[in-house]
A and B are shown apart, each in its own frame.
Chain A
């Protein structure tokens, strides 16, 4: 059974700081891993999808890496801004198969102070 862990549960940083959000998963036989952002009272917005054949993906100031052998993924946010304040969720497939349902971590609530 896939388990996804995100620690810490909350993080507060000053504006401009580079930061790394960590995600660990127990079952490494995954086709991909996805990072999402959730603003208060809103749905989930997909940030990055990393396929198992890739080691990282980049979108603007965001960079996500995937290390299947160690069961870890990281989301790197460069030059953080107050608008980055949100909850960041990592999700990995629940079982082997390209179209598996996802198991989510509980998320990291990020606060970027002006």
Chain B
């Protein structure tokens, strides 16, 4: 597609429920990243997928968080047993990768998650 697409744009869920957030990257972009932006905070790295390599999960805050990327394209971020501190905007980005760093990130519009 023309840009990075995220769905849903807004999600309100009850504490303790599981949620799934979807990211559809730009076609041909092999790298996909998830970030989280809490109110008044900076962007926090969560997870990174690069082609067929094992994902970099070093930013996931707890084992309640997981993500997968199927067929090297669409990615789903799953949060189990949501807590109020999970409320944030979840941003996905994709990138065309090279050895020169000639291409930057393209971000989606984000999913605003509210846990009540």
Q: Which residues of B contact A105 (CB under 8 A)?
A: 42
Task: Give CA–CA (A99, B45) in the complex, Å.
Answer: 14
CB neighbours of B103 from chain A (8 A): 49
Q: In the bound complex, do residue B91 and residue A44 qualify as a contact, i.e. CB atoms below 8 Å apart?
A: yes
Chain A nearest CB, measured from B109 CB (Å): 4
Give which listed residue, B41, B45, B99, B105, contacts A98 with CB less than 8 A: B99
Instruction: Say yes or no: A93 contacts B43, CB within 8 Å.
Output: no
Q: Which residue of A lies closest to B101 (CB)?
A: A31
A51 and B109 contacting across the interface, CB-CB below 8 Å: no
Q: What does the 1/0 interface line of A82-110 toward B look like (CB < 8 Å)?
A: 00000001010110001101111111000
**What range describes how many residues of A lie at the interface?**
20 to 34
B109 with A52: CB separation less than 8 A: no
Is A34 within 8 A of B95, CB to CB?
A: no
Within 8 A of B (CB), among A18-76: 30-32, 34, 36, 41-46, 49, 51-52
- How many residues belonging to B are interface residues under a CB distance threshold of 8 Å? 30
Neighbouring A residues of B108 by C-beta, 8 Å: 43
Segment 23-54 of B: residues with Cβ below 8 Å from A: 31, 33, 35, 41-43, 45, 48, 50
Complex: chain B residue closest to A42, CB-CB = B109
CB distance from B55 to the nearest CB of A (A): 11
B65 within 8 A of A: no
Binding site for A on B (CB under 8 A): 6, 31, 33, 35, 41-43, 45, 48, 50, 56, 59, 91, 93, 95, 97-110, 112
Chain A residues at the B interface, C-beta cutoff of 8 Å:
30-32, 34, 36, 41-46, 49, 51-52, 89, 91, 93-94, 98-99, 101-107
Q: Considering the complex of A and B, which 8 residue pairs feature the smallest CB-CB distances, nearest first?
A: A31-B101, A49-B104, A98-B101, A44-B107, A43-B109, A32-B101, A104-B43, A106-B42
